[in-house]
């Protein structure tokens, strides 16, 4: 969610997010946080899918995974996306899926969903002829999951404090590989470019710039050298405005102040002349509106003009001639 509280047709409200109001992004990342693909939610589609066809959520997942299908990848998703039908379709594209599951999804086995478990108990069922496993495990509360990449079983795992615990293998894999999106959100929040504005597209543009910088930093630290994210951003800024790395902010200001201004060009001298009288003109002099008086919203005519200026403006001898050339 990109925070935005202005008026927008596709603005979303999600109460359990840090930014409750804003623009919703769907993102595909690696388990290390590199953002592979994204899509912006642009409002509800009035054309509802016909019965028996792919749902909107499944279409979204297939669009995001488009370049990576049929390559044997394993995708981890939360309960917003997962369903039995989606896992079955991903298997046809040689792609495994694992994640948590909402109990009210269509196609869930009632034996698993309605079963009452004690703490630590684990139950699962397999869809006929397809390796789609739906499981339920009771920890502090019931956790439903779906997987095509694991055969459900209980394994012993250790947490960061070294404490051992019995946990289903699909839950353990989900916990280890779902941190990518949290990692990317964390890194983008440190030095965020978007600022308060009523133009939603400006916030989106700068958010995409943040994503590009994070992806560039991710690749740079994997292939070149390890540096801090803030140092990488400063290096990018310095390269764009062409400042040497040895120059800090204070030294740069002093350097700019010490640069001598170029010598002023000698002012061109201006002279008055009579406005020439055209042929067959009955009067001795021609009068035109003074350009300076007109600029000051005054109505005054003069018989003189500047001889040197290219457009030869009509000007009063004093003080308009002086003010016009200041």
pLDDT tens figures, 140-170: 899 999 999 999 999 999 988 888 999 999 9
pLDDT of residue 254: 67
pLDDT at 139 over 80: yes
pLDDT of residue 77: 94
Q: In this structure, are strands 96-100 and 74-77 parallel, antiparallel, or unpaired?
A: parallel
Comparing 266 with 39, which gets the higher pLDDT?
A: 39
Q: How many CB atoms lie within 10 A of CB 95?
A: 22
Long-range contacts of 201-204 (CB under 8 A, 24+ apart): 203/2, 203/3, 203/4, 203/23, 204/2, 204/23, 204/40
**pLDDT tens readout for residues 36-58:** 999 999 887 755 555 557 789 99
User: What is the average per-residue pLDDT within 106-110?
Assistant: 90
- Note if the pTM is more than 0.85: no
The pLDDT-based confidence of 266 (bands split at 50, 70, 90) is low
Q: In this structure, are strands 272-274 and 304-306 parallel, antiparallel, or unpaired?
A: antiparallel
| pLDDT above 90 as % of the chain | 66
pLDDT of residue 127: 86
Nearest to 83 by CA among 60, 67, 64: 60
pLDDT at 256 over 90: no
The pLDDT-based confidence of 273 (bands split at 50, 70, 90) is very high
- The whole-chain average pLDDT of the chain stands at 88
For residue 76, the cross-strand partners are 98
């Amino acid at each position: 969610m990109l925070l935005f509280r202005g008026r927008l047709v596709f603005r979303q409200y999600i109460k359990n997010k840090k930014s409750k109001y804003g623009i919703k992004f769907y993102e595909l990342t690696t388990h290390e946080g590199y953002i592979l693909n994204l899509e912006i939610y642009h409002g509800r589609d009035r054309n509802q899918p016909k019965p028996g066809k792919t749902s909107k959520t499944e279409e979204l997942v297939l669009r995001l995974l488009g370049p990576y299908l049929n390559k044997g990848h394993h995708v981890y998703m939360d309960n917003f996306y997962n369903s039995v039908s989606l896992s079955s379709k991903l298997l046809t594209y040689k792609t495994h899926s694992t994640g948590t599951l909402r109990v009210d999804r269509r196609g869930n086995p009632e034996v698993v969903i309605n079963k009452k478990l004690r703490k630590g108990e684990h139950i699962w069922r397999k869809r006929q002829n397809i390796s789609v496993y739906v499981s339920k495990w009771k920890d502090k509360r019931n956790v439903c999951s779906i997987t095509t990449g694991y055969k459900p079983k209980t394994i012993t795992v250790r947490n960061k404090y070294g404490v051992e615990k019995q946990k289903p293998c699909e839950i353990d894999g989900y916990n280890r590989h779902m941190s990518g999106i949290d990692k990317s959100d964390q890194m983008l929040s440190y030095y965020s470019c978007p600022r308060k504005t009523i133009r939603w597209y400006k916030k989106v543009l700068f958010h995409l710039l943040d994503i590009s910088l994070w992806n560039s930093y991710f690749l740079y630290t994997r292939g070149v050298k390890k540096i801090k994210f803030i140092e990488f951003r400063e290096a990018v800024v310095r390269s764009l405005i062409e400042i040497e790395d040895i120059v800090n902010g204070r030294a740069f200001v002093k350097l700019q102040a010490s640069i001598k201004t170029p010598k002023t060009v000698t002012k061109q001298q201006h002279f008055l002349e009579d406005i020439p009288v055209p042929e067959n003109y009955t009067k001795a002099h021609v009068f035109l509106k003074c350009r300076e008086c007109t600029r000051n919203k005054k109505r005054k005519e003069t018989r003189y003009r500047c001889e040197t200026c290219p457009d030869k403006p009509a000007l009063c001898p004093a003080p308009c001639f002086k003010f016009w050339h200041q």
